[in-house]
């Protein structure tokens, strides 16, 4: 009998069909559409969630007809969809719901045709802006001019949402000219990850953790998002952003909010987002010696295949970080005095995203000094091998006195939930939420602005000091001074393990 058969019911996923919808994907031939959006929609179609009257309309500058676009969609599904070849009939039926309009975001071409397609359908209308943020304003304005920005329409916008507070404010103000906040769905795909939502379930669905979830019992919290990939072909974008803008301001910030926020009164969009906003606004400024940045070097013995960061972005003097580690504090009653350590980087030793809550030692050890120091450590693994481990202290088995050891109570979700647990990619979950009109897992405008208001001074600080990121070896866990930052506080980073 396996673990999940013993205690935990086998999961049977319930798929509830969403309302009929028309989804227009601006940037419908782009990388994100091909990798994530279209294969995700196809999986939802196969799961029976997409009504037969739903339509997906690709819109981009490329001159294609419906047949040409369907061919591209089929290729994207074959390449990025899943390891199994989709049943021919399913794919054909899905493609029957897909069409294409060649459109110019800054001109007039294609808008009349799109208007004709979207006229009076009575369905949910969603417009996905999977394009450069420079085009968000043009698209919003044209949607209104061509009569498609009615009050039920929804727009989905991708990150980066601005590159600082000022640009984020401008973007929010531009969108607000044409759409109300309840129509704008700002995507942070980390919020669509299964285990990220599980953070809320674990915290607020159990009595066990919440009473201990504060500065009195928690020594510190670590959030690590380590990637093995480098900047790849995204050098031009990435070199203008760096790890702070690309990962910390959004993904790590969201994780920090979910781990630190007060329990919302209800699981509804504004109740959750109000609590997250309070966390961001309570963040202390980060002191210069509490932030370290790094840039990866070429892989030893394999420099051709894995170039250094500077080679990858084509700038031998680039000062952009591919790794960052920082320490911050939340100035409120719950967390005052508990440091939060954040770390993320590319070309690290393993792909691993983990939140670790390190509890304090017991106030007094009845076992004496020789028993050593022991702490409970709760680690929540977001990817891969999603699950939760709680380190507990027990007696080392055998005779010879009271020696204590730490052992993990391990719950790997795939093992606990068994085969029946449905794997839903972040994007497909979030797109279905757009159709359902549920904004809980999307960032509100004020949240994004507050995150930039905290981020900006940190970036301005290192720019003003002329700081240059320190090199780190590809396949390592970042710069040595990130370890040093922890050691100064008498702590250690958790090992990055797959
Ligand atoms: C994106 C960043 O938002 O998230 C990328 O722009 C990063 O640089 C990616 O690689 C990580 O996402 P995931 O889902 O692979 O952890």
What is the per-residue pLDDT across 118-158, written as a single tens digit (0 to 9) for each?
A: 998 899 999 999 999 999 999 999 999 999 999 889 999 99
Whether 227 lines ligand 1, by a CB cut-off of 6 Å, is yes
Query: Which ligand 1 atom is at minimum distance from the Cα of 250?
Result: 3
Dist CA 456 CA 439 (whole Å): 26
The pLDDT of residue 422 is: 63
The pLDDT of residue 488 is: 97
Whether 246 lines ligand 1, by a CB cut-off of 6 Å, is yes
Query: Catalytic annotation on 374?
Result: no
**Rounded distance from Cα 193 to ligand 1 centre (Å):** 12
Percent of residues, the chain, with pLDDT higher than 90: 79
Dist CA 186 CA 62 (whole Å): 26
CB neighbour burial string for 313-341, b if at least 16 within 10 angstroms, e if fewer: beeeebbbbbbbbbbbbbebebbeebbbb
| For range 16-34, the mean pLDDT | 96
| For range 369-379, the mean pLDDT | 87
Report yes or no: 81 and 75 within 8 Å, Cβ to Cβ: no
The pLDDT of residue 5 is: 43
Dist CA 91 CA 467 (whole Å): 52
DSSP for 321-364? -SEEEEEEEB-STTTTT-EEEEEEESSBSS-EEEEEEEEPPPSS
Whether 188 lines ligand 1, by a CB cut-off of 6 Å, is no
The pLDDT of residue 7 is: 46
Q: What band does 455 get if pLDDT is binned at 50, 70 and 90?
A: very high
Residue 188, pLDDT > 80, answer yes
Top mutation candidate among 132, 239, 247 for ligand 1, by most atoms within 8 Å of CB: 247
Top mutation candidate among 225, 227, 428 for ligand 1, by most atoms within 8 Å of CB: 227
The pLDDT of residue 419 is: 58
**Rounded distance from Cα 404 to ligand 1 centre (Å):** 40
**Interval 59-74: pLDDT, tens:** 999 999 999 999 999 9
The pLDDT of residue 23 is: 98
- Of 36, 25, 34, the C-alpha closest to 60 is 25
> What does DSSP say about strands 323-329 and 291-296: parallel, antiparallel, or unpaired?
antiparallel
Joined tokens for residue 131: 């394009």
CB neighbour burial string for 148-158, b if at least 16 within 10 angstroms, e if fewer: bbeeebbbbbb
**Residue whose entry in the numeric block shows the structure tokens 């952003």:** 241
Query: Which ligand 1 atom is at minimum distance from the Cα of 346?
Result: 10
Dist CA 328 CA 39 (whole Å): 38
* pTM, to two decimals: 0.93
């Amino acid at each position: 009998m396996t673990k999940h058969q013993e205690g935990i019911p086998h999961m049977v996923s319930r798929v509830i069909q969403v309302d009929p919808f028309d989804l227009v994907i601006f940037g419908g031939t782009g990388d994100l559409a091909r990798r994530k959006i279209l294969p995700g929609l196809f999986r939802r179609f196969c799961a029976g969630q997409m009504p037969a009257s739903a339509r997906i309309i690709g819109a981009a500058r490329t001159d294609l007809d419906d047949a040409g676009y369907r061919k591209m969609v089929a290729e994207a599904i074959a390449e990025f969809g899943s390891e199994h070849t989709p049943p021919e009939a399913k794919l054909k039926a899905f493609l029957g719901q897909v069409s294409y309009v060649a459109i110019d975001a800054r001109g007039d071409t294609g808008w009349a045709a799109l208007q004709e397609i979207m006229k009076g359908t009575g369905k949910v209308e969603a417009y996905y802006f999977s394009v450069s943020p420079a085009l968000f304003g043009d698209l919003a304005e044209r949607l209104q001019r061509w009569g498609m920005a009615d009050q039920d329409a929804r727009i989905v916008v991708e990150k980066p949402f601005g590159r600082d507070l000022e640009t984020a404010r401008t973007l929010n103000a531009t969108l607000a000219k044409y759409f109300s906040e309840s129509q704008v769905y700002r995507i942070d795909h980390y919020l669509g990850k299964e285990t990220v939502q599980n953070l809320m379930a674990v915290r607020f669905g159990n009595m066990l953790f919440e009473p201990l979830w504060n500065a009195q019992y928690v020594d510190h919290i670590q959030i690590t998002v380590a990637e093995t990939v480098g900047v790849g072909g995204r050098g031009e974008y990435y070199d203008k952003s760096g790890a702070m803008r690309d990962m910390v301001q959004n993904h790590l910030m969201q994780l920090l909010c979910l781990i630190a926020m007060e329990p919302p009164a209800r699981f509804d969009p504004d109740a959750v987002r109000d609590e997250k906003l309070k966390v961001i606004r309570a963040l202390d400024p980060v002191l210069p010696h509490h932030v370290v940045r790094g840039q990866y070097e070429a892989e030893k013995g394999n420099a051709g295949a894995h170039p250094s960061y500077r080679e990858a972005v084509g700038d031998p003097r680039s000062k952009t970080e591919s790794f960052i580690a920082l320490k911050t504090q939340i100035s409120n009653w719950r967390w005052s005095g508990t440091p939060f350590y954040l770390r993320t980087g590319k070309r690290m030793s393993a792909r691993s995203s983990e939140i670790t809550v390190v509890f304090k030692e017991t106030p007094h050890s009845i076992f004496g000094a020789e028993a050593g120091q022991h702490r409970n450590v709760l680690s929540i693994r977001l990817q891969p091998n999603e699950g939760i481990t709680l380190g507990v202290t027990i007696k080392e088995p055998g005779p010879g006195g009271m020696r204590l050891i730490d052992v993990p109570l391990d719950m790997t979700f795939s093992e606990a939930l068994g085969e029946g647990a449905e794997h839903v990619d972040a994007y497909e979950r979030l797109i279905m939420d757009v159709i359902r009109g549920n904004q809980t897992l999307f960032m509100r405008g004020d949240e994004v602005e507050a995150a930039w208001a905290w981020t900006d001074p940190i970036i301005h600080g290192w720019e003003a000091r002329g700081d240059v990121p320190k090199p780190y070896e590809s396949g390592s866990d970042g710069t040595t001074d990130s370890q040093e930052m922890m050691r100064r506080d008498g702590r250690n980073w958790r090992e990055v393990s797959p």
